[in-house]
Amino acid sequence: MFHRLKHFPGPKLAAVSKLWHVWKCHDSRGHLVLQAWYEEYGEFVRTGPNEITIFHPEAYEAMDGPDNRNTRSDWYDLLYPRISSIFTRDRQLHHERRKMWEHALSRKALLLYHLRVIEKVQTLQRLVALGESRPVLINDLMYFFAFDSMGDFAFSEDFGMMRNERWHSSIATFRSALTLLGPFSPAIWIPRLGFAFIPSLWKVKNWFHMLEFCDQCMARRMKKTLSDRDIASWFIADHVKHGSDPTRARWLSGDTATLVVAGSDTTAPSLTLLFYFLARYPMHAEKIYEEIHGVDRENPAALATLPHLTGTINEAMRLLPAVLTFSSRVTPPEGLMINETLIPGNTKICAPRYTIGRREEPLILSEVRNTKGIFKLRQLMSPPMSSFPSGGTANRS
């Protein structure tokens, strides 16, 4: 009756406990649960005892913009005691670890990794061509491509999934472990309890196998002396520089797990969905095919100038982003104003990209969306940079 969030609409049971939200997400379709709540309750919905879910595009800048004073929520304790630039709630530690990532993902470094990816693209192309005129099931192929590419540019290791045309046993376990997040992301303390008390049961066991697999990838890479840079080389250099501090070992493990997941399990579904849309709307595949004629297809800078290719990628990621719902933040003590609505301080907030990207007026914020009539996949196609589903607010985030 006197709760500071009582004036926000939302399901009654959600205001009592997050367990009800978890139950609603038991089939790992939490994005559709939130979509239904948005349609029923509007742009600001109380989805937990101390949680507001925001369905307005201003939330992106308010949550993640350069001037925000929010802190990360308990969701970012997921890998604890492992720590990484992403999975830490310590702002200073985040900045310190981010420097290493910035070197590893600089423009110069990405050009080096690009040459490795080109080889994997050629292998993927050959596998698709083997189907000749028959339909090709792209789902597994894109996962094979994503993990093989990640293994190469991250660790200079070949997982051999495309070559053998079958799942690597450890990676199959890896994917099983990540399915924990589907139903339990709304209440991350539940899997955390599982990690602490039932580490050898159910998919919790696979979670630890996943982390062990990531550590083994880094351990094998540390035994190699290579002339060519990969992402792990930057992590190893930082680790060696600071000696054998046990804390640093946890940091290395956390960053390695982040690298493996971010470099593969978000890439694969994004590529799968892109090709799904191209298969469903072949006129856009034809336009892209015409657009790349006369362009150096191995030059990423040249490809980035192609408006229909870029717009198709943006549109596919708007409709079905790799991360459909989370992450979350905690508002600063003074609260947070979004679209003339004040959210009280120390309140958990999240902004589901799946729903926001599908609003009737999804892209109301920016003139960046102006495509100058070059193409139209829909009336307002190209989203503002802050609407990109990658989780950040910068052009290449």
Q: Where are the domains of the chain?
A: 12-89+320-387, 99-260
pLDDT of 255 strictly over 80: yes
- The pLDDT of residue 170 is 92
pLDDT range class, residue 220, cuts 50, 70, 90:
very high
pLDDT bracket for residue 131 (50, 70, 90): confident
In the structure, what pLDDT confidence band is assigned to residue 381 with cuts at 50, 70 and 90?
very low
Provide the percentage of residues in the chain whose pLDDT is more than 90.
74
Mean pLDDT on 153-171: 94
Which pLDDT band holds residue 361 (cuts at 50, 70, 90)?
A: low
Q: State the pLDDT at residue 250.
A: 92
Are 177 and 62 spatial neighbours (Cβ–Cβ below 8 Å)?
no
pLDDT at 373 over 90: no
What's the pLDDT at 360? 78
Length of the chain counted residue by residue: 397
pLDDT tens, position by position, 57-67: 999 999 999 88
Query: What's the pLDDT score for residue 248?
Result: 87
What pLDDT sits at residue 1? 61
Q: Are 389 and 321 in contact (CB under 8 A)?
A: yes
Confidence of residue 397 (pLDDT cuts 50, 70, 90): very low
pLDDT surpasses 60 at 376: no
- The pTM score is 0.87
Q: What is the DSSP string of 113-178?
A: HHHHHHHHHHHHHHHHHTTTTS---HHHHHHHHHHHHHHHHHHS----HHHHTS--HHHHHHHHHH
Between 283 and 396, the higher pLDDT residue: 283
pLDDT digits 0-9 by tens, 314-359: 999 999 998 898 789 999 999 999 999 999 999 999 999 999 999 8
Domain 99-260, second-level architecture: Orthogonal Bundle (1.10)
pLDDT digits (tens, 9 = 90+) for 175-218: 999 999 999 999 999 999 999 999 999 899 999 999 999 999 99
Lookup result for tokens 């050629």: 122
CA distances from 299 to 223, 249, 302, 303 (A): 32, 37, 5, 6
